[in-house]
Structure 1
Amino acid sequence: MFSAPARRAVRTALAACVLLILGLTSAPAVADPIGDSPTAKLEHLADLSRRSEQANEALHQAGIDLDARIAEQHELDARAAADHDTLAAAQVEVARFKPTVDKLAQANYRGSRTNRLFAVMVSDSPQQLLDQMVMLDVLGAQTDREIEGFRRATDAAAAAASASRKSAEAARVAAEQAQALRDDLQRQETELESQIAAVLDAFDNLSDEEKSILAGTPFPPGLDADRIMEHLIPGNGAGALRAALTRIGDPYVWGATGPDQFDCSGLVVWAYQQVGKTVPRSSQAQAQGGTPVSRDNLQPGDVIIFYNDASHVGIYAGDGNIVHASTFGVPVKVQAMDSFPFHSARRY
Structure 2
Amino acid sequence: MPSQKMKRSMCTALATGVLSLTLVGLPAASAGADPVVNNPTEALERLAELSRESERTTEALHDAQIDLDGKQTAQRDAEARLAGDRDALAAAQARMDQFRPTVNKLAAASYQGARTNRLFAVMVSDSPQQLLDQMSALDAISNETSKAVSQFKAAATDAEAAAEASRVSADTARAATEQAKVVSDELQSKQSELQKQIDSVTAAYDRLTGAEQAQLAGTSFPSGFDAGRILAGLTPGSGSAALQAGLTQVGKPYSWGATGPDAYDCSGLVVWAYRQIGKTLPRSSQAQAQGGIPVDRSALQPGDVVLFYSDASHVGLYAGDGNVLHASTYGTPVKVESMASMPFYGARRY
- State the TM-score, normalizing by the size of structure 2: 0.81
Give the counterpart of 1:345 among 332, 344, 347: 347
Kindly indicate whether the alpha-carbon contact (under 8 Å) linking 1:63 and 1:185 is maintained by their aligned counterparts in 2.
no
Kindly indicate whether the alpha-carbon contact (under 8 Å) linking 2:75 and 2:170 is maintained by their aligned counterparts in 1.
no
The 10-residue stretch of structure 1 (117-126 or 248-257) with the greater mean CA deviation from structure 2: 117-126
Residue 3 of structure 2 corresponds to which residue in structure 1?
A: none
Q: Which amino acid aligns with 2:324?
A: I
Q: CA deviation at 1:332?
A: 1.0
C-alpha spacing 1:75/1:189, structure 2 compared with 1 (3 Å): farther
Residue 184 of structure 1 corresponds to which residue in structure 2?
A: 186
**Residue 281 of structure 2 aligns to a residue in which SS?**
coil
The 10-residue stretch of structure 1 (119-128 or 132-141) with the greater mean CA deviation from structure 2: 119-128
- Determine the C-alpha separation between the residues in 2 that align with 1:246 and 1:284: 25
- Determine the C-alpha separation between the residues in 2 that align with 1:311 and 1:197: 21
**Residue 107 of structure 2 aligns to a residue in which SS?**
helix
Residue 216 of structure 2 corresponds to which residue in structure 1?
A: 214
**Higher relative contact order (CA closer than 8 Å, sequence separation 6+):** 1
**Residue 262 of structure 1 aligns to a residue in which SS?**
coil
- Determine the C-alpha separation between the residues in 2 that align with 1:131 and 1:340: 94
C-alpha spacing 1:117/1:33, structure 2 compared with 1 (3 Å): closer
- State the TM-score, normalizing by the size of structure 1: 0.82
- The 5 A counterparts of 1:7-156 are 33-119=35-121, 122=124, 130-156=132-158
Residues 97-136 of structure 1: per-residue CA shift (max 9 Å, x gap): 2222222222122212334454455556666555444433
Q: CA deviation at 1:286?
A: 1.3
Q: Is 1:318 equivalent to 2:320 in the alignment?
A: yes
Q: CA deviation at 1:305?
A: 0.6
Gaps of 5+ in 2: 1-33
- Determine the C-alpha separation between the residues in 1 that align with 2:128 and 2:291: 85
Q: CA deviation at 1:185?
A: 5.0
Residue 161 of structure 1 corresponds to which residue in structure 2?
A: 163
Q: CA deviation at 1:325?
A: 0.9
Kindly indicate whether the alpha-carbon contact (under 8 Å) linking 2:257 and 2:268 is maintained by their aligned counterparts in 1.
yes
The share of aligned pairs that are identical, in percent, is 59
C-alpha spacing 1:41/1:93, structure 2 compared with 1 (3 Å): same
- Determine the C-alpha separation between the residues in 2 that align with 1:188 and 1:81: 38
Kindly indicate whether the alpha-carbon contact (under 8 Å) linking 1:34 and 1:41 is maintained by their aligned counterparts in 2.
no
C-alpha spacing 1:63/1:270, structure 2 compared with 1 (3 Å): same
Kindly indicate whether the alpha-carbon contact (under 8 Å) linking 1:59 and 1:188 is maintained by their aligned counterparts in 2.
no
- The 5 A counterparts of 1:229-268 are 229=231, 231=232, 233-235=234-236, 236-268=238-270
- Determine the C-alpha separation between the residues in 2 that align with 1:68 and 1:195: 32
How many correspondences in the alignment? 316
Kindly indicate whether the alpha-carbon contact (under 8 Å) linking 2:60 and 2:187 is maintained by their aligned counterparts in 1.
no
Q: CA deviation at 1:172?
A: 3.1
Kindly indicate whether the alpha-carbon contact (under 8 Å) linking 2:234 and 2:241 is maintained by their aligned counterparts in 1.
no
- Determine the C-alpha separation between the residues in 2 that align with 1:120 and 1:239: 90
**Residue 75 of structure 1 aligns to a residue in which SS?**
helix
- Determine the C-alpha separation between the residues in 2 that align with 1:117 and 1:309: 80
Q: Which amino acid aligns with 1:36?
A: N
- Determine the C-alpha separation between the residues in 2 that align with 1:221 and 1:148: 83
**Residue 318 of structure 1 aligns to a residue in which SS?**
coil
Residue 288 of structure 1 corresponds to which residue in structure 2?
A: 290
